Amino acid sequence: MPIVTKGREQLFGSVADGKMELNVFGRIVHRTWMEIQAHYAYVELDAFCVMPHHFHEIIIFADNRKGIYSGFTADKITLKILAPLTSP
């Protein structure tokens, strides 16, 4: 499930000549995504893509206390265990 703007309004920029051109709001989404790890130590960021009215992302939640990685992608509404970090 991508994160979509209300009414699919194109708030983040536009596509021109096959390339996404971010506007000020698109740059805010991009910058905020890049800053997530500074606020949440247990989060690892993977691929993301900002589009005119939505964005896709892959985020990994690392719980080092339990030695578990859980991955979440907005395209799949499930949270699953990927691999243990250490022996229990």
- Summarize pLDDT for 36-84 with one digit per residue, the tens: 888 887 788 888 899 999 998 888 877 655 555 555 544 433 334 343 4
Whether the CA torsion 6, 21, 27, 37 is positive or negative: it is positive
For 25, residues 6+ apart whose C-beta sits below 8 A from its C-beta are: 11, 12, 13
The domain ranges of the chain are 3-84
44 forms beta bridges with: 60
- What per-residue confidence (pLDDT) applies to 61? 76
- What per-residue confidence (pLDDT) applies to 77? 36
- Summarize pLDDT for 5-31 with one digit per residue, the tens: 989 999 999 999 999 999 999 999 999
- What per-residue confidence (pLDDT) applies to 71? 53
- What per-residue confidence (pLDDT) applies to 74? 43
